[in-house]
Every structure is written in structure tokens, then in C-alpha cells.
A and B are shown apart, each in its own frame.
Chain A
Amino acid sequence: MNELIIILASAVLLFAITLWKRKSPANLREIPALTRLYRTLGLSIEDGTRLHISLGSGSLLDARGGSALAGLALLRHIAERTSTSDKPSVASAGDPTLGLLTQDTLQAGYQAAAVEELYVPTSGRVTGLSPFGYAAGAMNIMKNENVSANIVVGHFGSEAGLLAEASDRENMILIGASDELSGQSVLFANTQDALIGEELFAAGAYLGAGASHIASLTLQDIMRWFVILALLGGAAAKLIGVI
């Protein structure tokens, strides 16, 4: 029942914060990787080069679905912004259901930019069904499709190292985030600015994806303070022998 209370309280707070009209724009701390991502989006359109968005092999049917959904939200925004580019973005997924949603999300981005006729269904791809198979397929896209930057956002384990190595060999920008600890450590060692932990879920808010994304960040901060207080309170209670 505690879980239900947490979910309901979070839902009410998220709803309220989303509807709350801010008098001034939200003040977000600088995350270098997301600043770089914002700049990369603009540069790829100007240069006429392609962005490759790797969404990883997270299935939507298990707990890894959260990072996949965050990746899709980011893809939706990128698709809208780069849809009119000479070389539109290409997205890859390592899970069939995620692959289907990738195509749907790309199409929604093109619709929002009012250029649906430019949408090519093969720009959203399933490149493999196992993590390493997926990485091998995604490396092929990086090498052969005039890609200037790789945005690796989703569920990645150590196979992220292969994507990072391929990016480095082709002199591409790599922006990476994973919900898996091994993936995060690999990306930390391989990228100039890595996204750690919950920063993966902040990309939408930083790219201006809407009020709900800003509200999500605010809610995460509020929840984090509750967790900190609960941890400190629990430790103090244990110390004085209450629990």
C-alpha cells in the first residue's frame, strides 16, 4: 500500500506542477552534455549531416522501459527539429517493440513539423535482438551513413563501449546516458561529458520538450529530498534505538 501512496502522491504533484503557471522560466542547472546536445542539434542541421539516436535494448515489458520511454521522448523532439534537414536523423533500437515505437515517434515528429511526406519508415530500425548484436548493427549505421553525432540514450550495458569506440574512430560526437551502472561507467570513460543517473531523464526538459518535462524534474527533486530525509531519519532512528 505504501507504493500506491507514493505513486498517487507523485501523480497529484506532477499534475499540479505541470498546470502551475510559472512567473519566470524554470532555472535549470547547467549539464554540459545536454548543452552539447542542444548545440549538436543545430550544427547537424547547418552541416547537412545526420544524427544517430541509439535507444538501446531496453524492453518496454520490464523495468528497463523507463529509460526507453525517456529516449523516445528525446527522439520525438529531435525528429521534429531535424526533420527538414538534408540528412534526417536515423534511430536504432535493440528491442522489437521499441523499434516499432521508434518509427511511430519519428513519424509523430515529422507530423509536428508539418513535413510528414519526408518521413522514411526505414529511418527507425531494429538492428539486432541481443545487446551485442544491436551494437554491431548500430556501428554499421555510424560508419556508413554520414553520421556526425551519436546520441546514445536508453538501456545500455557494457556494449555501449563498442558504440563509443566506433564513434571515436569516425571522429563523431558522442552523448551518452544509460540507466544501467555498467553502461554509465563505460560511457563516463568514453565520452567528453557523460550523463550520470537521473540526468538521462532530464534531456527533454533541457531541450524544451514542454511543461510536463520541467514538472518531472521538479517532482524528482522533491522526491529526492524525501528520500534523503527518510534515509537520514532512518539512520538517526536506528542510532538511538527506535527501530
Chain B
Amino acid sequence: MRVFTAVIAIAAGILVLGGYFLPALADVQTLLLNWAVILAGTAALVGIFNLVSVHSDKIRRQEKGSGYSILLLISLVVTFLFAMILRPDHEAMDIILNGVIIPIEAALMGLLTVSLLYAAIRLLRRRADFMSLVFLVTAALLILGSATLPFGNMPVLGTFIRPWITQVLALGGARGILIGVALGTLTTGLRVLFGADRPYGGN
């Protein structure tokens, strides 16, 4: 069975990859990608069942934080029922999205600003080395250089140092990192294509 799944996965991978280079395989590639999109949609449903199962277990075992699990399940069921009865494009569903989910995510983003500032302050205590110092000095220079002042950009810092750091040093470094990530992605993809890594069931 494991060999069978591996053969199917490798064949599908090769056909999709081949579709980018060989026009004859383009139709097969589109078909396989469409199947993948349908499966991903089904996986979302399975993911929700998984979420319900995990939180139901927590409530049944009265684990720490199970109050949040009750809240989550009630919200999930109410939202699901509303969406089924009213249809997803109803105004009430927009209110749930724009009035609850988006503000909560925005609040988390706001919390992140504070926690990042706190992390930067503690960085030297956690790791007192040259690179931490470079990181902090660069961040401070960029924040100062981006500051909006009544008289315009901060002289030298805003007009010369900040653009030089972002356009030369940071851009060069970012490209280097992204090339490294791309090479890593390529080799990881090839390992999966060879069947050396099989994240689809089997050893």
C-alpha cells in the first residue's frame, strides 16, 4: 500500500512539474491542480472537525482552559448555523466578519507591536553579541529615519542613511536569504519527488 501511494504521489508530482515545461502535459497538470483545490476544500472541513474533536475532548476531560473551548464551540456552531440559514453573503455574516474577526486580528496585531518592542529591548540581555547590536542599531536608525516630523524628513538620517540601508544593505541581505530559501525549497521538493520524504502516509 505504501509503495502504491508513493508511486501515485511521485507520478502526480512529475506530471504537474512537467506541465510547466511540456505543453502536452498542461491539461493533465490543470486537471491534477483542480483536484488538489477540491481536496484542499475538503481538508478545510476535516480541519474543522479536528478542531471540534480536540476542544470537545478538552471539555469532557475538564482540562485547563476548557472555558475557552466551550466559547469556541458555541461561536463555531452559531456562526455555522447562521451561515447555513442566512447564506454566507448575507449582511449579518459580513457583520460577524467585519465586526468580530477583523477587529480581533487587528487587536492581536496591536499586541504584537508592544511585544516586539519589548523583545527588542530584551534582546541584548538574551543574546549580547555583535549581530544583536547591529540589529538594534539598524532598527533604531530606520525608525528614526522614518519618523514623520513637522518639517519633513530627518536630515541625513531620513534622506540618506535610511534609503541606503533599506535599498542597499537590507535589500542585498534579503535577496541572499531568499536565494537560500529557494535552494532549500528546491532540494526539499526534489526529496519529496524522489519519495525520500513521504509526508503522505508511510515511512
Which positions in A face B, CB cutoff 8 Å? 1, 3-4, 7, 10-11, 14-15, 18, 59-61, 63, 65-67, 69-70, 72-73, 76, 96-97, 99-101, 103-105, 107-108, 111-112, 121-122, 124-127, 129-130, 132-133, 135-137, 140, 143-144, 158-159, 161-162, 164-165, 168, 179, 181, 184, 186, 188-190, 192-193, 196-198, 200-202, 210, 212-213, 216, 219-220, 223-224, 227
Question: 1/0 contact trace for B126-139 toward A, CB 8 Å?
Answer: 11000000010000
Nearest A-chain residue to B45, judged by Cβ: A96
> Do the beta carbons of A10 and B188 come within 8 Å of each other?
no
8 shortest interchain CB distances as A-B pairs: A66-B185, A201-B184, A198-B180, A126-B47, A96-B47, A212-B196, A197-B180, A96-B43
Known: A11-B190, A181-B178. A162 touches B115 (CB 8 A): yes
Say how far A101's CB is from chain B's closest CB, in angstroms: 5
> Do the beta carbons of B40 and A69 come within 8 Å of each other?
no
User: Interface range on chain B: under 10, 10 to 19, 20 to 34, or 35 or more?
Assistant: 35 or more
Chain B stretch 152-178: residues in CB contact (< 8 A) with chain A: 174, 176-178
Nearest B-chain residue to A221, judged by Cβ: B183
Consensus secondary structure, chain B interface: helix
Q: Which of A1, A10, A69, A112 contacts B197 (CB 8 A)?
A: A69
Q: A70-B188, A161-B115, A188-B135 are in contact. List 8 more A-B contacts (CB 8 A).
A: A1-B21, A10-B187, A18-B194, A69-B188, A72-B199, A108-B203, A181-B177, A184-B177
Nearest B-chain residue to A227, judged by Cβ: B179
> Do the beta carbons of A140 and B68 come within 8 Å of each other?
yes
Known: A96-B40, A96-B46. A135 touches B197 (CB 8 A): no
> Do the beta carbons of B112 and A158 come within 8 Å of each other?
yes
CA A66 to CA B186, docked complex, whole Å: 8
> Do the beta carbons of B201 and A210 come within 8 Å of each other?
no
Consensus secondary structure, chain A interface: helix
> Do the beta carbons of A224 and B180 come within 8 Å of each other?
yes
CA A227 to CA B182, docked complex, whole Å: 12
Q: Which of B23-31, B78-86, B87-95, B103-111 contacts A (4 or more CB under 8 A)?
A: B103-111
**Residue from B48, B187, B190 whose CB has the most chain A CB atoms within 10 Å:** B187
Which residues of A are found within 8 Å of B57, using beta-carbon distances?
122
Interface membership of B150, Cβ < 8 A: no
Question: 1/0 contact trace for B43-63 toward A, CB 8 Å?
Answer: 111111011011001000001
